[in-house]
Amino acid sequence: MTEQDVQYEKNEAEVKRIMELAKANYPGANVDKIWRAFMVAETMHRGQLRQSGEPFIIHPIAVAAMLAEMEMDVNCITAGMLHDVVEDTSMTYDDVQAEFGAEIAKLVDGATKLKRIGDTTKEEQQAENLRKMFLAIAEDMRVIVIKLVDRLHNMRTLQYVNTDKQIKKAQETLDVYTPLAHRFGMAKIKWELEDLCFKYLDPEGYASLAAQLSQKRSEREEYIKSIISTVKTAIEAEGFEAHLDGRPKHLFSIKKKMDRQHKPLDQIYDLLAIRVIVDNVAQCYRVLGIIHQLYTPVPHRFKDYIATPKPNMYQSIHTTVIGHGGVAFEAQIRTWDMHNAAELGIAAHWRYKEGGKEERDENAEKKFEWVRKLFDMQKDMDTTDGFMEAFKMDLFTDEVFVFTPKGDVKSLPAGSTPIDFAYAIHSGVGHKMIGARVNGELKPLDYCLQTGDMVQILTSNSPNRAPSRDWLKMVKSSEARTKLRQWFKNECREENIEVGRDMLDRELKRQGYTYQQLFGDEEIVESFLKRNNLRSIEDLMNIIGFGDMTAQKAVSRLKDLYLKKHAESDAKDSDFINKLIDDKAAKSIEKASADGIIVKGVDNCLVHPARCCNPVPGDAIIGYTTRARGVSVHRRDCPNVIAMNRNEANRMIDVRWARGASSVAPHPAEVVIEAIDTGRMLIAVANIINEMSIRMTSINSKNTRDNYQIIHLVVQITDRSALDKLIDKLGAVDGVINVTRTVK
């Protein structure tokens, strides 16, 4: 047999072992998929080598094996086997989907990096990849398990790559992956990753600490052994069983503790630690009692994470006590369920449950809700930078738990103030806050919240009450910061727009373009705005003035779009406008269009109401001549028109509603209602519309996280006064906060 054959047989045997494992964990499941995935991956990766010189396929096999050992389900293991085929071979997402179905394809896609596009910087690229990963995780949390296991195998085999790459990979792991492992409660993977990072980032420090630890190892082990036997005997005397062991040491966490407390190794408390695992919560507290009877507790070193779990679901009781000879040691007490959750975190929730069928823990999704929260927040951010900032902040800070007067718990980053708390409740509460009572006492706004504090926010009803810029310096949570920034962005909109406009003008001049050239084409501007999640040119000026986007970036991107499009069409453009003006002079009879709109001096001209502002008869209107589609008619207060009017006066044309336009045809109008969810809102809205005999063509309702209800409706309106009346009536409904007509 050749060396290749030997390797191949070894691979086959390992895949069969994986299948056996999966079958044992999920008896009914179709494990043949794993074999098929192996065949596909083996074929696709054939010829590729790892840095170690081994065939690439050993990496996906190792990833699949680790997933199987964590008792993940068959689809997850299959996706692990395939996790690099889209990134590193000619296989596409569609191929995987056709071969293995949508669920596995999505998991693989979640583990696949984006192809590097165009002129993005490395940082932008990394942020985009993180954003993509977050989206995938929010959709299916198994993606994070695959990503972490993938990274763990790469870190375990890091000795084969060059030093530069070792440092880069280890730093990235420490920056992104270990915090993620922490947040998803996957302590086992986190510790191993951290120790590997420590080893590659600080080889001397690692070696010296390892040497120090091994010096007195047998002495320490003897001591722990005697403690364990004392505690075990006492527990058994109480009539129940417990599993006891010495807690494994992790070099990185010891080092962090030494650095943080500026203490040498022999003064670190939980260097000596025992772990007690029992069957139920009641026994946890009995064990605590037994240990506190045997040994004197160290003050302030007791933490009950069973009563108040960490946000990553970690549950245990921690206490530090003085053992014989005056040596302090730490005890961790937990149930078996808590132990599994502590080691595996989110991964524990896909594990086989008794009863023989695969089921997912519904609560897991809820407990990891912060992922969705972070994801929701980044949708509102205009730039990649903001995303990275929030991402890093939320991952790296520890948290405090604070209570509302009703006893609800909010988790906030350590160092948070009452302002953070107010914004965590609702932005309406934040914007209107004037003070806070903490545990019944008035405290300043920059008071540093402590775990266990009960906080009551005092708000003002005065319409003049508004956030102060100083608050930005006091808040710690990205949620509060985002909401405050949003507020200032909107509040100082006028000034921002002025500043942004100047910056744009200067940049245009610098790059040698006129405003008309880059902002004159509706199609170009629209596609640019859409791509950047903006509604209007004024929005763009606002964020430029506010500092969220540089004028240079905006002009460069617009320029690209302009150059791409304008190669062909300049000539046609001017022809059309000239002809229209000629026609204008020639004709004097005015005729209304089918929509009841008259273009001054022109008839039979193609006219259509603009879809951004949906004008209805009675609205003040103005026309804009487009090249291909005639005249588009906007409301005069439409923000798109305000910008166009200033810069393209030659394209603007007077229009008005024909007499009797209201009887011609109804026009669509979109209305948005913001309300407190009373449970009866949709019925109330429907009743009003019915009473007024208005035709409704679409209604859409959704609830925000804080139980506010947002209802979008499209109604067919023949007259502005009917629309005004409808808005008034809707505004008077109990629970309605705001009713507005939308402009896109």
Residues with a known catalytic role:
87-88
Question: Of 166 and 640, which CB lies nearer to Mn ion in the complex structure?
Answer: 166
3-class DSSP state for residue 608?
A: strand
Cα–Cα distance, 91 to 81 (Å, whole number): 14
Question: Of 84 and 195, which CB lies nearer to Mn ion in the complex structure?
Answer: 84
β-sheet bridge partners, residue 331: 274, 319
* Complete DSSP assignment for 420-434: HHHHHH-HHHHHTEE
Cα–Cα distance, 380 to 146 (Å, whole number): 28
Q: Which stretch binds Mn ion (CB under 5 A): 38-46, 126-134, 149-157, 424-432?
A: 149-157
Question: Of 150 and 399, which CB lies nearer to Mn ion in the complex structure?
Answer: 150
Cα–Cα distance, 378 to 384 (Å, whole number): 9
* Residue pair 332/316 in contact by the 8 Å Cβ criterion: yes
Site for Mn ion in 274-303 (CB under 5 A): none
Cα–Cα distance, 553 to 707 (Å, whole number): 38
**Shortest CB 64 distance to Mn ion, Å:** 11
**Shortest CB 48 distance to Mn ion, Å:** 12
Closest alpha carbon to 431 in 469, 487, 472, 380 = 487
Cα–Cα distance, 50 to 677 (Å, whole number): 57
Cα–Cα distance, 58 to 78 (Å, whole number): 14
**Shortest CB 156 distance to Mn ion, Å:** 12
**109 makes contact with Mn ion (CB under 5 A):** no
DSSP state of 391: H
**Shortest CB 83 distance to Mn ion, Å:** 6
Question: Of 154 and 283, which CB lies nearer to Mn ion in the complex structure?
Answer: 154
* Residue pair 677/574 in contact by the 8 Å Cβ criterion: no
Which amino acid type is present at position 73? D
Q: Is 739 left (phi over 0), alpha (psi -120 to 50) or beta?
A: beta
Sorted by sequence, the CB contacts under 8 Å of residue 436 that are 6+ apart come out as: 418, 421, 422, 442, 443, 445, 447, 455, 456, 457, 458
Q: Which stretch binds Mn ion (CB under 5 A): 142-150, 455-463, 481-489, 701-709?
A: 142-150
Contact characters 200-239, Mn ion, x per CB under 5 A: ----------------------------------------
Q: Which stretch binds Mn ion (CB under 5 A): 13-21, 148-156, 559-567, 708-716?
A: 148-156
| End-to-end C-alpha distance for the chain, whole angstroms | 70
Query: In a 10 Å sphere around its CB, with 0-12 CB exposed, 13-18 middle and 19+ buried, how is residue 85 labelled?
Result: buried
Question: Of 45 and 255, which CB lies nearer to Mn ion in the complex structure?
Answer: 45
At residue 522's C-alpha, the angle toward residues 518 and 526, to 5°, is 90
Cα–Cα distance, 152 to 130 (Å, whole number): 18
**Shortest CB 150 distance to Mn ion, Å:** 4
Question: Of 73 and 150, which CB lies nearer to Mn ion in the complex structure?
Answer: 150
**Shortest CB 154 distance to Mn ion, Å:** 6
* Complete DSSP assignment for 189-223: HHHHHHHHHHHHH-HHHHHHHHHHHHHTHHHHHHH
Which amino acid type is present at position 344? L
Q: Which stretch binds Mn ion (CB under 5 A): 76-84, 272-280, 307-315, 323-331?
A: 76-84
Q: Which stretch binds Mn ion (CB under 5 A): 82-90, 531-539, 615-623, 701-709?
A: 82-90
**84 makes contact with Mn ion (CB under 5 A):** yes
* Residue pair 677/708 in contact by the 8 Å Cβ criterion: yes
Q: Which residue minimizes CB distance to Mn ion?
A: 150
Q: What are phi and psi of 359, to 5 degrees?
A: -145, 145
* Residue pair 18/64 in contact by the 8 Å Cβ criterion: yes
Q: Which stretch binds Mn ion (CB under 5 A): 31-39, 145-153, 713-721, 733-741?
A: 145-153
**595 makes contact with Mn ion (CB under 5 A):** no
Cα–Cα distance, 622 to 655 (Å, whole number): 5
Question: Of 79 and 242, which CB lies nearer to Mn ion in the complex structure?
Answer: 79
Question: Of 85 and 540, which CB lies nearer to Mn ion in the complex structure?
Answer: 85
**Shortest CB 351 distance to Mn ion, Å:** 23
Question: Of 56 and 423, which CB lies nearer to Mn ion in the complex structure?
Answer: 56
Question: Of 150 and 521, which CB lies nearer to Mn ion in the complex structure?
Answer: 150
Q: Which stretch binds Mn ion (CB under 5 A): 78-86, 130-138, 427-435, 466-474?
A: 78-86
Question: Of 150 and 270, which CB lies nearer to Mn ion in the complex structure?
Answer: 150
Q: Which stretch binds Mn ion (CB under 5 A): 147-155, 263-271, 348-356, 570-578?
A: 147-155
Question: Of 11 and 411, which CB lies nearer to Mn ion in the complex structure?
Answer: 11
**Shortest CB 111 distance to Mn ion, Å:** 7
**Shortest CB 336 distance to Mn ion, Å:** 32
How many other CB atoms are found less than 10 A from the CB of residue 239? 7
**Shortest CB 53 distance to Mn ion, Å:** 17
- Determine the size of the site formed for Mn ion (CB under 5 A): 2
Half-sphere exposure of 48 (CA within 13 A, CB side): 18
At residue 666's C-alpha, the angle toward residues 662 and 668, to 5°, is 125
**150 makes contact with Mn ion (CB under 5 A):** yes
Cα–Cα distance, 661 to 594 (Å, whole number): 9
**Shortest CB 343 distance to Mn ion, Å:** 23
Please report which residue ranges of 670-718 form alpha helices under DSSP H.
681-691
DSSP state of 173: I
* Residue pair 615/621 in contact by the 8 Å Cβ criterion: yes
Sorted by sequence, the CB contacts under 8 Å of residue 195 that are 6+ apart come out as: 250, 251, 252
**Shortest CB 176 distance to Mn ion, Å:** 15
Site for Mn ion in 606-665 (CB under 5 A): none
Q: Which residues of the shown chain bind Mn ion in the complex (CB under 5 A)? A: 84, 150
